[in-house]
Amino acid sequence: MTEHETGSAAPAAADPAPAGARQWLREHSELGVAVVLLALGGLVVVDALSMSTSFAQRGPVGPRVVPLAVGGLLIAIAVALTVDVLRGGKGEAEGGEDVDLTIPPEWRTVLLLAASFIANIALIDLVGFPISGAILFWGSAYALGSRHWVRDPVIAVVLSVSAYLLFQKLLGVPLPGGPLEGI
């Protein structure tokens, strides 16, 4: 399940009727959105309240007012959304050209994509963009079901190296070069 669903699914295990409760939570997984909104709202409010406003206030409205309003809005919407979901309201999942909503979501694909993404984050400053970018592309293509053992890595490396050269040399936007540094 998604990360926001696991959060609300955890207490289900302690429930006396786990199967029924799990079913109920699955149908009301949108409550996870309300949890996210509530958490975000709480964070904004706490941050605003912990701000010291004694110094440098210019004008009648200090730096805390708008964050408090936004935090309050988030919390209010979290409540309203909870009510809406419990009354049977449902957000419509977004369709699209390549989206097939009739099949159940494939979390494996999403996790593998996130893993490729995180690999790029972890490696980019260590081994440079040409290598980490190629890993990102190949990993993502693999996650999405491409299994060409020669074509995939070749495309990944060519794309990564040419993107590096394009940005570094032609456009003057610096990227960490790794082994290509200084060429």
Partner 1 sequence: MDTLSNLIEGFATALTPTHLLLAALGVLLGTAIGVLPGIGPAMAVALLLPLTYSMEPTGAFIMFAGIYYGGMFGGSTTSILLNTPGETAAVVTAIEGHPMARKGRGSQALAAAAIGHFVGGIIGTTLLVLLAPMVAKMAVNIGAPDFFAIMLLAFIAVTSVLGSSRIRGFASLAIGLAIGLVGLDPMTGQARLTFGSLHLADGIDVVVVAVGLFAVGEALWVAAHLRRTTGKPIPVGRAWLSRADLSRSWRPWLRGPVIGFPFGAVPAGGAEIPTFLSYVTEKRLSKHRAEFGHGAIEGVAGPESTASASAAGTLTAMLTLGLPTTATAAVMLAAFQQYGIQPGPLLFQRESQLVWALIASLFVGTVLLLVLNLPMAPLWSKLLRIPRAYLYAGILFFASVGAYAVSGDVLDLVLLLVIGLLGFMMRRFGLPVLPAIIGVILGPNAEQQLRRALQISDGNLSGLVNTTFSVTVYAIIAVILLWPLIGKAITRTRTRTPESVR
At its nearest, how many Å lie between partner 1 and the CB of residue 27? Answer: 13
Whichever of 15 and 47 has its CB closer to partner 1, that residue is 47
The letter for the amino acid at 172 is G
Residue reference for tokens 């977004």: 94
Whichever of 17 and 90 has its CB closer to partner 1, that residue is 90
Residue reference for tokens 């990993």: 139
The letter for the amino acid at 167 is F
Whichever of 14 and 103 has its CB closer to partner 1, that residue is 103
At its nearest, how many Å lie between partner 1 and the CB of residue 111? Answer: 10
Task: Quote the radius of gyration of the chain (alpha carbons, Å).
Answer: 23
- Per the CB < 8 A criterion, the answer to whether 139 and 116 are in contact is yes
Whichever of 91 and 179 has its CB closer to partner 1, that residue is 91
Whichever of 19 and 149 has its CB closer to partner 1, that residue is 149
At its nearest, how many Å lie between partner 1 and the CB of residue 118? Answer: 7
Instruction: Output the CA–CA distances (angstroms, integers) from residue 60 to 42, 70, 86, 144, in the order listed.
Output: 25, 18, 41, 54
At its nearest, how many Å lie between partner 1 and the CB of residue 143? Answer: 7
Instruction: Output the CA–CA distances (angstroms, integers) from residue 122 to 43, 136, 137, in the order listed.
Output: 27, 11, 15
Whichever of 61 and 183 has its CB closer to partner 1, that residue is 61
Give the Cα separation of 6 and 2 in Å (integer).
Answer: 6
The sign one gets for the Cα dihedral 84, 86, 89, 92 is positive
At its nearest, how many Å lie between partner 1 and the CB of residue 133? Answer: 6
At its nearest, how many Å lie between partner 1 and the CB of residue 140? Answer: 4
